A and B are shown apart, each in its own frame.
Chain A
Amino acid sequence: MGKKDTNVRMSLQTLRVLEAFLENPTVQLAGAEVHQRCGIASGTLYPILLRLESAGWFVSQWESIDPSSAGRPRRRLYRLTSTGLRRASEVFASFNRGVLA
């Protein structure tokens, strides 16, 4: 098995998504919540989430609720991994230094 490619193309929208997660790195956010925080449209948001997940920056899991008792379907929750946290911090640090990652 080859090593997973953790490089992600950085766009402004990707940075905004990462910023939303970096506000509280332990928080788990659904796509709808990321949309509310960043204002990124669904068509852009979900490919970014999948891209970051496949690169190992995010992990996702289903919300642990009973849909029938909660009265709503379970959501997919995303969370930063330790790799994602380190890489995202590096990216923002490089921006603060004025150097593109």
Chain B
Amino acid sequence: MSQRNEQSTQSRLEGVSHWLIHHAARQAPESLSSRLEEEWLADLQCRSTALSKLGHALGCCWATVVIVNEYSRVQVPAASRVVAAKGYITLADRNFGYFSLRSGTLFLILGLHATLFCGLITTLSLTRGLAAEPNLSNQVLNAVPIEITVLPGR
């Protein structure tokens, strides 16, 4: 019974691995998509255990992210009438405006942290202000009588 369960788990994991590779290859650039799918599926057969197959499939998903990132950075066809008329395709870097993607992400993270910090400070100051308000009224305290007791032998 447990062996049957194990087999079904393994076949499920292999099914998930196949699906992940199909999915990853579909996300890859069109010119590489079918090649990568065939290559990765062939390499999947070389893995012995279901877990290593799943690891390979997950790795392929990550590889797609890296490949797409590099591919889009290096080879974005830029449509230019003059160049197109001559039958060429020019390659241009993707333009992210003033900042690169990495710098933009850094500024976004810094901005989110600054916003969170400001929000926290503002909330804390408001909470403290409300709590401290009743204590702000002036009160005159009565003089406390001080009794000095002299200890024996001193």
Cβ–Cβ contact A72 & B42, under 8 A: yes
The tally of CB-CB contacts under 8 A between chains A and B is 65
Interface residues on B, range: 20 to 34
Complex CA gap A48/B45 in Å reads 21
User: Cβ of A75 < 8 Å from any Cβ of B?
Assistant: yes
Q: Which residues of A contact B40 (CB under 8 A)?
A: 31, 42, 46
- Nearest chain B CB to A29's CB is how many angstroms away? 11
Q: Which residues of A contact B35 (CB under 8 A)?
A: 76
Q: Given A74-B42, A76-B39, A76-B42, decide whether A46 and B63 contact each other with a Cβ distance below 8 A.
A: yes
Cβ–Cβ contact A42 & B59, under 8 A: yes
Could you write out 19 A-B pairs with CB less than 8 Å apart? A30-B43, A30-B46, A31-B40, A32-B47, A41-B55, A41-B59, A42-B40, A42-B43, A42-B59, A42-B63, A45-B59, A46-B39, A46-B63, A47-B70, A73-B38, A73-B42, A74-B38, A74-B42, A76-B38
Name the contact of A31 in the complex, choosing from B32, B39, B55 (C-beta under 8 A): B39
